[in-house]
Amino acid sequence: MRFGAHIRLLVTGLLLTFAVAFAVPVSAQQVNPTADAVRERQFLDALKGNPQAELQGRISIPDQKAATLERPAGRDWRAFHQGTMLRIAAIAVLGTLLALTAFYLIRGRVMNEAGPAGTTITRFNAFERFVHWLTAGCFIILTLSGLNVTFGKLVLLPLVGPQAFTNLSIVAKWAHNFLAWPFMLGVALMFVIWIKDNIPTLADLRWFAAGGGIIGKGHPEARRFNAGQKIVFWSVVLGGAALSVSGFYLLFPFYAGGVLNLQFWNVVHGIVSVLMIALMLGHIYIGSIGMEGAFDAMGSGEVDLNWAKAHHSLWVEEEMQKARAGSDNRLQPAE
Amino acid sequence: MARMKFLCDADRCIECNACVTACKNENEVPWGINRRRVVTINDGKPGERSVSMACMHCTDAPCAAVCPVDCFYTTADAVVLHSKDLCIGCGYCFYACPFGAPQYPKVGNFGSRGKMDKCTFCAGGPEADLSPVEFQKYGSNRLAEGKLPLCAEMCSTKSLLAGDGEIIAQIYKERVVKRGYGSGAWGWQTAYKDNIAI
Amino acid sequence: MLIKRKTADVQRGRLQAAIAGLSSGVMDRRAFLRRSGLVAGGVAAVGALQIGSVRKAEAAGLGPATGTKVVKNICTHCSVGCTVKAEVVNGVWVGQEPAWESPINRGSHCAKGAAVRELVHGDRRIKYPMKLVDGQWQRISWDVAINEIGDKMMQIRAKSGADSVYMLGSAKFSNEGAYLFRKFAAFWGTNNVDHQARICHSTTVAGVANTWGYGAMTNSYNDIRNSKTILFMGSNAAEAHPVSMQHILVGKEQNRANVIVFDPRLTRTAAHATDYIRIRSGTDIPVIWGMMWHIFKNGWEDKAFLAARVHGMDDVRKEVEKYDPKTVEDITGVPEAQLKRAAETFAKVKPATFIWCMGVTQHSVGTANVRAICNLLLATGNVGGMGNGANIFRGHCNVQGATDFGLDIANLPCYYGLVEGAWRHWARVWDVPYDYFVTRFDEVPAKGGRPARTRKANMETSGHTSTRWFDAANLPTEQVDQMDNLKAMFVMGHGGNTIPRMPDAVKGLEKLELLVVADPHPTNFVSLGGRKNGTYILPIGTQFECAGSRTCSNRSVQWGEKVVEPIFEAASDYFVIYKLAQKLGFAEQMHKNFEMVQGKFGPEPSAESILREINRGGWSTGYTGQSPERLKLHMEHQDKFDLVTLRGAQGSPVENDFYGLPWPCWGTPDLKHPGTHILYNTSLEAKNGGGTFRPRFGLTYERTLADGRKVSETLLAENGSYSLNSDIKDGYPEFTMGVLKKLGWDADLTPKELETITWIGGNNIDAVNWANDLSGGIQRVALKHGCVPYGNGKARANAWNLPDPVPTHREPIYSPRVDLVAKWPARPDERTLRIPNLHTSVQKAAVEKGIAKSFPIVLTSGRLVEYEGGGEETRSNKWLAELQQDMFVEINPADAAARGIKDGAFVWVSGPENNSKARVKALVTERVGKGVAFMPFHFGGFYQGQDQRGNYPKGTDPIVLGESVNVVTTYGYDPVTAMHEGKVTLCQIAAA
């Protein structure tokens, strides 16, 4: 967890935990603990300078979290969680859905313009597809159970009633806690197996310039993954890492180093999650109803050659060359 | 309608922990769950003060606001209670609570939490008043018996006050006037957006 | 949001009492006020009444509903005497409610008191008698246990004498238990009987009794509400006596009183001071004399008080001259200005009270420390009135009572001493021939150059102290002034880890042929050392499982009812002592005056009948008026007593009585003496609780002047000092039949009284006095004439019979200030209480070995609020144990930084004797100054880094174990009482 450790350091650096250092006047003449008593006012004043301030003391029980007497910073987290987070999530999720619907209505389905070639080319092998669906499956359940925490009481609770909602939420919580692990594994595997095809290149700039072929006309050249897919890849890798790290701390709160840190990781987890969800909605759209032939890549793993030529011309070329060079002719010409 | 509050007069508190064990005794609170605790600020320095802290039963309680399953409720005495049947042990109330009140029994794997437990102001929970099941889940219900929380009732120096906010504020105010000093109604600003003007 | 509605017809659980007028659990303001015992509009009064947690008033008036029995007992922890109100259903203690009616605690408790219910549920209690066979604990029956223990005792007695069996009793006993145990030792024939007072306030008792007559707190906790200056020295009441702080803090607030705290540590008590003064441990006398220096120099002393009621203050004045501010600052570290201000405040802002505890008493100069304080009180006229006095906070729930009843090597019950007259007095009370007791004692052969002792002489010789029991086992026989070394210990309710030099105790334990530990929990005696055989454990009920009276620090006697039957196979103290007496053959004689009742396992004496016997004999201390009936009446009407004066309300059944009939409560119960709230208070009539200083040191003092002339100085009060409405308007000696005759007051005696006096006096009837007149006639007549039975004397500033008649500073045995040792050395080596006391040799050796260099940190010790004493009971209580899970050492941040020690990390604390070391956690804090460390003394079960959990019988090990501070504490004993020097030694600390 070096990465996490670094982030934690950064965060604790920012959080400037309020060490109680109220000045105590000491005179050789008289020590008057009654007159010199620490007052709550001092803390409330300190809060004005640093809203994250915590009032720490000494306690004899081993639970050092209990040594924090007051931590009004929870207020900010509450405001975030009950306000900002809801808005961000609503905008991201509903906004994306709306945008995709609009796009679909305007642009319609992106068709395989050249029509089916009749021959297919293997785009993803079984292992790759397994990794994808492992991750995707987990992600969907994590999404639903996660969204339940934020929206459940607004949407589901009134529908199903308190006890049913709690039962559901408990299942959701366990699902979230357990499926987090295969999800993390999936992200890690994706990173390993696809990193070589996702190194950004100059071609990606051209791809962007051409609007990825969806918005403009004609398909820009692309290798195995076009720039858009690379964005999805890096988002999944980086976002997944962020979710993993933050999720890890939320799952093991005693490693997080205090409630302020937990609050921070919760904010990270929440924001990254909804951004990921928004992105994935787009990904799902384009991979299913948004584009003809795209689903096959992760479905059977075999894509139509014409589709491949249109979207990943350079990759098809490379594969062809490889096939020619190799004794084992993996491509089956369609003659 | 009475609005129940706690007030710890830190100029009386001697960190004797009677409130802590009285709570354990009355509610049979298990090891590791600390519904109430005493924190000493500026320990060992002249002017150190100890403050007994538990759930303050906040006005507009943050725990209730952030709870994803809405398991909190406020009684007519303004005591903030929750239902352990509904709680899913997510820990959000602990993130939000300014006083570190929510406690979780450690159950299962990971840092997984059981049903949240916290000070009930000795007012039990949503079960029938003074029923065995109420006692088992939430501890005693002294309010229903016409009594106040045992922590305050047993406080060695009458530092910890519990009861109608107006009355205990009045008591505190008179103490401060009488003795000429007071380190403040700890937590009142945060919990009740209120301070005792003297 | 839901709003919870409470319904009126709720099922009542624990307290089935439906509360009148409570239609709903919801409290509206009016209902609330009503329940708070306030009428509407009475809010202003709330503050004045200082009601902390307001509650309904009706409940007190409501009887408990069927099934729930409310039983009152007294908290078994400190000496404050908090009433515990137990709710019992079907013999199970199910709930604990605040006892609002107690004038002492008013519902309050500390952590321990609020957790006492656990004691009778404790799954870690000893469940049945056990014995150690080849290192394994075996369950045995009570009969087998008593038989085997008795046989072994008899065997040791035949071989080594009665003195070879040490009887270690307890400050946890009820008064009746303590008295019974002392009586048991007398029948067995030894004065080797002791209890925790030895390590608690033995030096206080010696010092105070030698100053003005009685060895007890002069006023009360409640009375501190009247004080305008409250001085603490070596007392951390906030942790040791938390509920006392209620009275103290209210006093502080209402009177805007000065609270001065002298302590090496900034304690939780010091945090509430108005003036905190840090002193070096072991320099109490220079601090007090430094204050006195300013007082005398500025003429702040109370001259009228000194002239009328004090003898010999000029001797003190002479000594005090040596303690100029510069000298005092050098020794104590206290700047002149601080000390002068404290002196002026104490002398001028009156009434001023002085509170002290173990910080003063646990020193090799403990008695002298106490004497110095007494002198400060006398010089400022701060004794014998409301709001002043020597408020000595005692430690255990009944350490005062156990001391009163002679669990002491030098006393029979009620401070009669060991002289022949004392033995004859108690023999009469017990209705056993005096000669019987003579035959029970050993004849001591001549040895070590000392002459032999007859049985009678041995019977009148003080025993061994508990602080050095292991020396009596370990030292060569000829050094031990009794027939043989110690061979057996019978320990009832006493920890093994509260006495310094534990490595020596370990050796001592291995020498014992028999060790009996009778306790609710296995004490450190069980786990310490490597005994394999000859150890017995007997399960004893706590005082909640036993009825009886207990005397709190302020001398009030409170009756506690049995809450539940002793749990598991535990038995009561009374039963065990009776059974053992039966086995040893003197049960019938010993119990002949007692009513035998059916206990859990068979007949045992009833507490009431034991108290009645005490009433028949306790004349010297005024333990005669506290009949069980009167005590029970007080418990029933606790709410009728005034919070400040402790006086029973007019028109109530306890009218005019002081709460708990604080001793002395003169005369027979019929006399209705109210008890004595404030000792030596001349502003009340003697029969109404007034008093005078007790002239117990003779009537005159022969002084040799510088020119060789001799003058005789009176020791009786002068200048019109006497208790209110006294017929004798001057000082007078104690009352005897002879004195009555001289005054012509013998005519006031009834024929029956005269008959008893004649029976006692035989052919010397004039010698019968107020303390041995079993009829109470002499006391009655004295009181009738407004006189105090013991006389009207002066307090002694110079206690000429003590080792340091006028206290002088002596450096601790292990002093960090080697440079001061030459000028202020320890006392020369001497023999005290049957063994050598090597003050000087040890101190000199420490200086020569450069101990102060290799062990540069001053180590002091003290209490934690969560635990008590040796701590097994409290460390086994899950509610308390959770709060203090580790033994620790407090170390100053500077010392910690210099040693690379982090807060919470393990360290080794090593002591200068026996290569001792203890592994504990560091608590880095500014509570202690640089060069000072503090360790609590309640831990045990670890020894020099070794976990000894396996030594406890399975399932009885306390939840929390830890090193005992006394592994590293050292030699040093008070010359009068052999109090150990637990509050100052040297140590070194290193990261572990």
Q: Read off the pLDDT of residues C396-451 as tens digits, 9 standing for 90 and up.
A: 999 999 999 999 999 999 999 999 999 999 999 999 999 999 999 999 999 989 99
A43 and A106 part of one domain: no
CATH class of the domain comprising C818-991: mainly beta
C-alpha C315 chain-centroid distance: 30
Round to whole Å and give the CA distance between C470 and C507. Answer: 8
Q: Given CB atoms, is A28 within the 8 Å cutoff of chain C?
A: yes
Residues above pLDDT 70, as percent of chain B: 96
Output the pLDDT for position A30.
Answer: 87
Bridge partners, C557 (sequence order): C551
Average pLDDT score over chain C: 92
Task: Report chain C residues whose CB lies below 8 A from the CB of B121.
Answer: none
Task: Report chain B residues whose CB lies below 8 A from the CB of A63.
Answer: 32, 34
Task: Report chain A residues whose CB lies below 8 A from the CB of C341.
Answer: 30
Instruction: Say if residue B31's pLDDT is above 90.
Output: yes
Round to whole Å and give the CA distance between C70 and C63. Answer: 9
Instruction: Say if residue B108's pLDDT is above 70.
Output: no
Question: Who among C266, C341, C884 is closest to A60 (CB)?
Answer: C884
Subunit contact A58:B69, Cβ cutoff 8 A: no
Subunit contact C14:B146, Cβ cutoff 8 A: no
Task: Report chain A residues whose CB lies below 8 A from the CB of B41.
Answer: 20, 38, 55-57, 69
Residue A2: count other Cβ atoms within 10 Å of its Cβ: 6
A134 and A38 part of one domain: no
A61 and A102 part of one domain: no
A280 and A143 part of one domain: yes
> Closest-CA residue in chain C for A35?
C274
Subunit contact C273:A33, Cβ cutoff 8 A: yes
Q: Position of tokens 């360290």?
A: C907
In a domain, A334, yes or no: no
Output the pLDDT for position A221.
Answer: 72
Question: Who among B47, B87, B181 is closest to A24 (CB)?
Answer: B47
Q: What is the DSSP string of C464-515?
A: --GGGHHHHHHS-GGGSSSSS---EEEEES--SSSSS-HHHHHHHHHH-SEE
Q: Predicted confidence band at B106 (pLDDT cuts at 50, 70, 90)?
A: confident
Q: Predicted confidence band at C12 (pLDDT cuts at 50, 70, 90)?
A: very low
- Cα four-point dihedral sign C622, C625, C628, C634: negative
Round to whole Å and give the CA distance between B62 and C627. Answer: 59
Whether the ω angle into residue B46 lies within 30 degrees of 0, i.e. cis, is no
Task: Report chain B residues whose CB lies below 8 A from the CB of A40.
Answer: 10, 183-187, 189
Q: Which fold has domain C67-116?
A: N-terminal domain of TfIIb (2.20.25)
- Cα four-point dihedral sign C307, C313, C314, C320: negative
Round to whole Å and give the CA distance between C839 and C857. Answer: 21
Superfamily (CATH) of domain C202-392:
Dimethylsulfoxide Reductase, domain 2 (3.40.228.10)
Q: Read off the pLDDT of residues A238-258 as tens digits, 9 standing for 90 and up.
A: 999 999 999 998 888 878 778
Burial of C327 (0-12, 13-18, 19+ CB in 10 A): middle
Instruction: Say if residue C646's pLDDT is above 90.
Output: yes
Output the pLDDT for position A272.
Answer: 93
Q: Identify each DSSP E strand in C41-80 by its residue range.
A: 68-74
> Closest-CA residue in chain A for C253?
A34
Question: Who among C3, C29, C256 is closest to B179 (CB)?
Answer: C256
User: Of all helices (H) and strands (E), which one includes residue C158?
Assistant: helix C142-160
Domain ranges of chain C: 1-62, 67-116, 145-198+399-546+566-599, 202-392, 628-796, 818-991
A90 and A196 part of one domain: yes
How far is the alpha carbon of B191 from chain C, nearest alpha carbon, in Å?
Answer: 19
- Domain containing A290 equals 74-325
Smallest CA-to-CA distance from C186 within C586, C457, C759, C558 is with: C586
Q: Given CB atoms, is C883 within the 8 Å cutoff of chain A?
A: yes
Burial of C337 (0-12, 13-18, 19+ CB in 10 A): middle
Helices (H), C542-698: 573-584, 587-590, 607-617, 628-636
In a domain, A91, yes or no: yes
Output the pLDDT for position C41.
Answer: 33
Mean pLDDT, residues C866-888: 95
Output the pLDDT for position C51.
Answer: 36
Domains of chain B, CATH where assigned = 4-192 (3.30.70.20)
Round to whole Å and give the CA distance between C914 and C919. Answer: 16
A13 and A118 part of one domain: no
> Closest-CA residue in chain A for B70?
A153
Subunit contact C96:B179, Cβ cutoff 8 A: no
A66 and A94 part of one domain: no
Subunit contact C115:B74, Cβ cutoff 8 A: no
In a domain, A138, yes or no: yes
Mean pLDDT, residues C766-794: 96
Q: Which fold has domain C145-198+399-546+566-599?
A: Rossmann fold (3.40.50)
Q: What is the pTM of this model?
A: 0.90
Mean pLDDT, residues A259-283: 91
How far is the alpha carbon of A133 from chain B, nearest alpha carbon, in Å?
Answer: 26
Q: Given CB atoms, is C863 within the 8 Å cutoff of chain B?
A: no
Q: Predicted confidence band at A23 (pLDDT cuts at 50, 70, 90)?
A: low
Output the pLDDT for position A217.
Answer: 61
A33 and A146 part of one domain: no
Instruction: Say if residue B62's pLDDT is above 70.
Output: yes
**C-beta of residue B102 within 8 angstroms of C-beta of residue B19:** no
Q: Position of tokens 């299942």?
A: A171
How far is the alpha carbon of B101 from chain A, nearest alpha carbon, in Å?
Answer: 9
Residues above pLDDT 70, as percent of chain C: 93
**C-beta of residue B39 within 8 angstroms of C-beta of residue A63:** no
Round to whole Å and give the CA distance between C36 and C634. Answer: 24
Q: Read off the pLDDT of residues C143-179 as tens digits, 9 standing for 90 and up.
A: 999 999 999 999 999 999 999 999 999 999 999 999 9
Considering only CA atoms, give the Rg of chain B: 16
A87 and A104 part of one domain: yes
Subunit contact A35:C341, Cβ cutoff 8 A: no
Average pLDDT score over chain B: 92
Q: Which of A6-20, A224-238, B114-128 has the lowest mean pLDDT?
A: A6-20
A185 and A47 part of one domain: no
How far is the alpha carbon of A114 from chain B, nearest alpha carbon, in Å?
Answer: 51
Q: Given CB atoms, is A31 within the 8 Å cutoff of chain C?
A: yes
Q: Predicted confidence band at C228 (pLDDT cuts at 50, 70, 90)?
A: very high
Round to whole Å and give the CA distance between C691 and C214. Answer: 12
Task: Report chain C residues whose CB lies below 8 A from the CB of B64.
Answer: 1
Q: Which chains form contacts with chain A, at 3 or more CB pairs under 8 Å? A: B, C
Q: Position of tokens 């840090």?
A: C278
User: Of all helices (H) and strands (E), which one includes residue A335?
Assistant: none
3-class state of residue B159 by DSSP: coil
In a domain, A192, yes or no: yes
Instruction: Say if residue B73's pLDDT is above 90.
Output: yes
Residue C639 is given by DSSP the state G
A45 and A109 part of one domain: no
Q: What is the largest CA-CA distance in chain B?
A: 54
Considering only CA atoms, give the Rg of chain C: 27
**C-beta of residue A265 within 8 angstroms of C-beta of residue A250:** yes
Residues 6+ apart with CB under 8 A from A101: none
User: Of all helices (H) and strands (E), which one includes residue A274?
Assistant: helix A259-287
Mean pLDDT, residues C198-224: 95
Subunit contact A33:B47, Cβ cutoff 8 A: yes
Structure token digits, residue C490: 């019978």
Residue C430: count other Cβ atoms within 10 Å of its Cβ: 22
Instruction: Say if residue C545's pLDDT is above 80.
Output: yes
Pairing of β C193-194 and β C229-233: unpaired
- Residue at which a domain ends, from A19, A46, A70: A70
Instruction: Say if residue A209's pLDDT is above 50.
Output: yes
Instruction: Say if residue C751's pLDDT is above 60.
Output: yes
Q: Predicted confidence band at C40 (pLDDT cuts at 50, 70, 90)?
A: very low
Task: Report chain A residues whose CB lies below 8 A from the CB of B186.
Answer: 40, 69-70
Tally of domains in chain A: 2
Round to whole Å and give the CA distance between C663 and C614. Answer: 13
Whether the ω angle into residue C351 lies within 30 degrees of 0, i.e. cis, is yes
A208 and A260 part of one domain: yes
3-class state of residue A171 by DSSP: helix
In a domain, A333, yes or no: no
Smallest CA-to-CA distance from C682 within C653, C723, C650, C645 is with: C723
Q: Predicted confidence band at A231 (pLDDT cuts at 50, 70, 90)?
A: confident
How far is the alpha carbon of C125 from chain B, nearest alpha carbon, in Å?
Answer: 18
